[in-house]
């Protein structure tokens, strides 16, 4: 069995939905198909939620009507006239009425989560109806029936395995099982979610729970690239990459994968194949534990970074100082990306500034605080073990005229990260691409990269 996940762009139009159906139909063996909401739908739902929160019911109703028009047009283009069209229109009416019902409710976190799941419910319903029309043996399995998180927000893998295995075993004649990404129940059996981007995570969790042969992530580019194609012209797709390298890239800005999505697959050693929905013949990128070693595999960048520097002579020769600093961030539920220290100072970065003022207020009791924003982390991923020569010089020779704010190296054998002003990000990505990848064969012969 394999798991195939398709994102919002892959199911963003009728033409694309049909392409996904062809891919699924041409995939041999039993499979579980995980779908996101159609592209743009989650944003529309979030806009409706925001209007409800502002008590703008009439404006929210107009947004709901626009979304319903989109759904009705999709049903018409998918099924034309006839039975499936009538069924689809009735179902869209029910979804529409469900959204309308929230206009009479006061905004709450619970209302927001219940509205957000509607996008995935619609996309999977439409896809299942298309599979039935195509005479495919398929079953729609609501994610709310098997995907559950505990009181800490962590997935209940035992529950997932038990519930999903039971459903699959009871449908021995079906080859295809369709479900929603992103959606789950919490420990109180209320509708919840795995956060935005969580469809990748859903696919990985399902794959790990059932110990499938492979997890496929279908997106709109030819696998993972060696650099960000939005800012760099001469990029290329990577044939293979290790779990550790892929995890570093995902965390530090590679948009193709959700940062958490690699973890369940890595724990069960299940290969992850990243493919292009719009070019299924392209080989894509295989993420597995036996990838060929490369000193430098790829580059990624993470924006909206804020650096905080704490300078205190109390830190000199003292123990427990860093623990107290970390406790401030833990108390304010703010993760730290990078950290560097000296005898009398510690610098660290965060990407979530929601509690920045509270954090600064508490840190001021430790010493002098400096804050700098509009920064970007550049991540170099590869097999960067420190005993391999030429890696750091090859990297920093490319950007010798770019000012660097912080460097993090040695915490992982698979990542070297440094901090620059965001205005320098695009030049840095291009300089590294030209210096490290443009003349790859020549560089390989000098034993710098491999």
Inform me whether the pLDDT recorded for 137 exceeds 60: yes
Same-domain status, 208 and 305? no
Same-domain status, 29 and 125? yes
Query: For a pLDDT cut of 90, what percent of the chain falls above it?
Result: 77
- In terms of C-beta density within 10 A (0-12 exposed, 13-18 middle, 19 or more buried), how is residue 81 classed? exposed
Same-domain status, 213 and 311? no
Q: Which residues, in sequence order, are CB contacts of 5 under 8 Å at separation 6+?
A: 33, 34, 35, 36, 181, 199, 200, 202, 203, 215, 216, 217, 218
pLDDT of residue 313: 77
What is d(CA 418, CA 181) in angstroms, rounded to the nearest whole number? 34
H/E stretch holding 354 reads: none
Same-domain status, 204 and 308? no
Per the model's pLDDT, the better-predicted residue between 62 and 394 turns out to be: 62
Inform me whether the pLDDT recorded for 34 exceeds 90: yes
390 confidence band (pLDDT: 50, 70, 90) = confident
Residue 63 placed within a domain: yes
Residue 396 placed within a domain: yes
Same-domain status, 7 and 97? yes
Does pTM surpass 0.85? yes
Same-domain status, 216 and 352? no
Q: What is the pLDDT of residues 335-356, one digit of tens each?
A: 999 999 888 889 999 999 999 9
Q: What is the pLDDT of residues 40-58, one digit of tens each?
A: 999 999 999 999 999 999 9
Mutual orientation of helices 83-101 and 118-133 as an angle, nearest 10°? 170
Residue 264 placed within a domain: no
Same-domain status, 202 and 330? no
Residue 60 placed within a domain: yes
Same-domain status, 393 and 306? yes
**H helix runs in 214-320, sequence order:** 243-251, 262-267
386 confidence band (pLDDT: 50, 70, 90) = low
237 Rama sector, left if φ>0, alpha if ψ -120 to 50, beta otherwise: beta
Residue 260 placed within a domain: no
Residue 276 placed within a domain: no
Residue 291 placed within a domain: no
The CATH number covering residue 54 comes to 3.40.1160.10
What is d(CA 347, CA 339) in angstroms, rounded to the nearest whole number? 6
250 confidence band (pLDDT: 50, 70, 90) = confident
Lowest mean pLDDT among 5-14, 193-202, 281-290, 416-425: 193-202
Q: Which residues, in sequence order, are CB contacts of 311 under 8 Å at separation 6+?
A: 344, 345, 367, 368, 369, 370
- Phi, psi (rounded to 5 degrees) for 10: -65, -30
pLDDT of residue 448: 43
Sheet holding 272-276, edge to edge: 138-140, 176-180, 31-35, 2-6, 214-219, 272-276, 285-287, 240-241
Residue 37 placed within a domain: yes
H/E stretch holding 356 reads: helix 356-363
| Domain final position from 163, 185, 220 | 220
Our count of domains for the chain comes to 2
Inform me whether the pLDDT recorded for 84 exceeds 60: yes
The CATH number covering residue 373 comes to 3.30.2130.10
Strands 31-35 and 176-180: parallel
Inform me whether the pLDDT recorded for 446 exceeds 70: no
| Domain final position from 220, 248, 282 | 220
Q: Which residues, in sequence order, are CB contacts of 80 under 8 Å at separation 6+?
A: none
Which is nearest to 186 in space by CA: 208, 161, 155? Answer: 155
Same-domain status, 311 and 212? no
CB–CB of 118/157 below 8 Å?
no
H/E stretch holding 113 reads: helix 109-116
Strands 2-6 and 31-35: parallel
The domain of 433 spans: 298-445
CB–CB of 146/133 below 8 Å?
no
Inform me whether the pLDDT recorded for 95 exceeds 80: yes
| Domain final position from 220, 253, 280 | 220
H/E stretch holding 322 reads: helix 321-331
Same-domain status, 185 and 317? no
Which is nearest to 127 in space by CA: 78, 200, 87? Answer: 78
């Amino acid at each position: 069995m394999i798991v195939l996940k398709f994102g919002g762009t892959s199911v963003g139009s009728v033409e694309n939905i049909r392409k996904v159906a062809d891919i699924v139909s041409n995939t041999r063996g039993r499979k579980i198909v995980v779908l996101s909401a159609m592209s743009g739908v989650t944003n529309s739902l979030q806009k409706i939620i925001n209007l409800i929160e502002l008590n703008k019911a009439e404006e929210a109703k107009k947004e709901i009507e626009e979304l319903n028009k989109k759904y009705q047009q999709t049903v018409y283009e998918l099924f034309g006239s006839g039975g499936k069209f009538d069924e689809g229109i009735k179902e869209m009416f029910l979804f529409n009425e469900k959204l309308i019902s929230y206009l009479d409710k006061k905004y709450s976190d619970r209302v927001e989560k219940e509205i957000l799941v509607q996008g995935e419910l619609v996309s999977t319903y439409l896809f299942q109806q298309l599979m039935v029309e195509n005479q495919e043996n398929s079953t729609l399995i609501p994610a709310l029936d098997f995907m559950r998180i505990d009181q800490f927000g962590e997935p209940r893998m035992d529950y997932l395995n038990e519930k999903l295995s039971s459903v699959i075993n009871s449908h021995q004649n079906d080859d295809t099982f369709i479900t929603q990404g992103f959606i789950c129940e919490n420990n109180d059996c209320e509708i919840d979610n795995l956060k935005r981007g969580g469809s990748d995570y859903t696919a990985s969790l399902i794959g790990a729970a059932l110990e499938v042969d492979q997890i496929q992530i279908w997106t709109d580019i030819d696998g993972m690239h060696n650099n960000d194609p939005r800012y760099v012209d001469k990029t290329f797709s990577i044939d293979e990459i290790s779990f550790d390298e892929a995890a570093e890239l995902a965390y530090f800005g590679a948009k193709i994968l959700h940062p958490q999505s690699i973890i369940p697959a890595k724990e069960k050693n299940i290969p992850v194949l990243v493919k292009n929905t719009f070019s299924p013949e392209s080989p894509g990128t295989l993420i597995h534990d036996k990838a060929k070693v490369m000193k430098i595999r790829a580059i990624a960048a993470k924006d909206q970074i804020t650096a905080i520097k704490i300078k205190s002579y109390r830190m000199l020769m003292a123990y427990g100082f860093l623990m107290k600093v970390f406790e401030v961030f833990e108390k304010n539920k703010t993760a730290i990306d990078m950290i560097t220290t000296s005898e009398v100072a510690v610098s660290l970065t965060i990407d979530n500034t929601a509690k920045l003022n509270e954090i600064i207020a508490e840190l001021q009791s430790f010493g002098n605080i400096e804050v700098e924003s509009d920064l970007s982390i550049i991540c170099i991923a590869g097999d960067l073990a420190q005993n391999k020569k030429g890696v750091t010089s090859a990297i920093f020779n490319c950007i010798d005229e770019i000012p660097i704010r912080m460097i993090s190296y040695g915490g992982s054998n698979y990542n070297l990260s440094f901090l620059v002003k965001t205005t320098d990000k695009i030049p840095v990505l291009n300089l590294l691409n030209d210096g490290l990848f443009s003349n790859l064969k020549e560089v390989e012969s000098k034993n710098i990269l491999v």
